[in-house]
């Protein structure tokens, strides 16, 4: 595989990270779920997605995959921050 194909693959992988986050959101629900584990999973997948998005821009210069991956994973990371803030407020 050449550099452009690897970059494109990483771009699609960046978008897949968001889809995995959405899937985990629907799977890990309920009153007995460990929220700290969910926050860790969301943040790790989101940071990986951002790194894949940056690698896409460096390797293949595909701006649409870069922007889409960066915006969607950044949005997930911001929502994780708000979830972490809500957890901190609700616990004594």
Q: Is the model's pLDDT at 36 over the cut of 80?
A: yes
45-82 pLDDT, tens per residue? 999 999 999 999 999 888 899 999 999 999 999 999 99
- What's 9-45 look like in SS3? HHHHHHHHHHHHHHHHHHHCCCCCCCHHHHHHHHHHH
Q: Is the pLDDT of residue 40 over 70?
A: yes
- Structure pTM? 0.90
* Mean pLDDT within 4-23: 93
pLDDT of 49: 95
Going 14 to 15 to 16 to 20, the CA torsion angle's sign is positive
Go through 60-82 and write b for each residue having 16 or more CB atoms within 10 A of its CB, e for each that does not.
bebeebbebbbebbeebbeebee
Q: Are 53 and 23 in contact, with CB atoms under 8 Å apart?
A: no
In the predicted model, what is the mean pLDDT of the chain? 92
Question: Which is it for the CA torsion 80, 85, 86, 91, positive or negative?
Answer: positive
- Specify the pLDDT at position 30: 85
């Amino acid at each position: 595989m050449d550099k452009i194909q690897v970059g494109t693959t990483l771009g699609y992988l960046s978008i897949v990270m968001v889809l995995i986050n959405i899937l985990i959101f629907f799977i890990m629900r309920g009153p007995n779920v460990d929220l700290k584990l969910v926050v860790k999973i969301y943040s790790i997948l989101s940071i990986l997605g951002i790194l894949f998005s940056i690698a896409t821009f460096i390797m293949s210069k595909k701006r649409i995959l870069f922007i889409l991956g960066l915006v969607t994973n950044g949005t997930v990371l911001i929502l994780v921050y708000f979830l972490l803030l809500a957890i901190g407020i609700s616990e004594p």
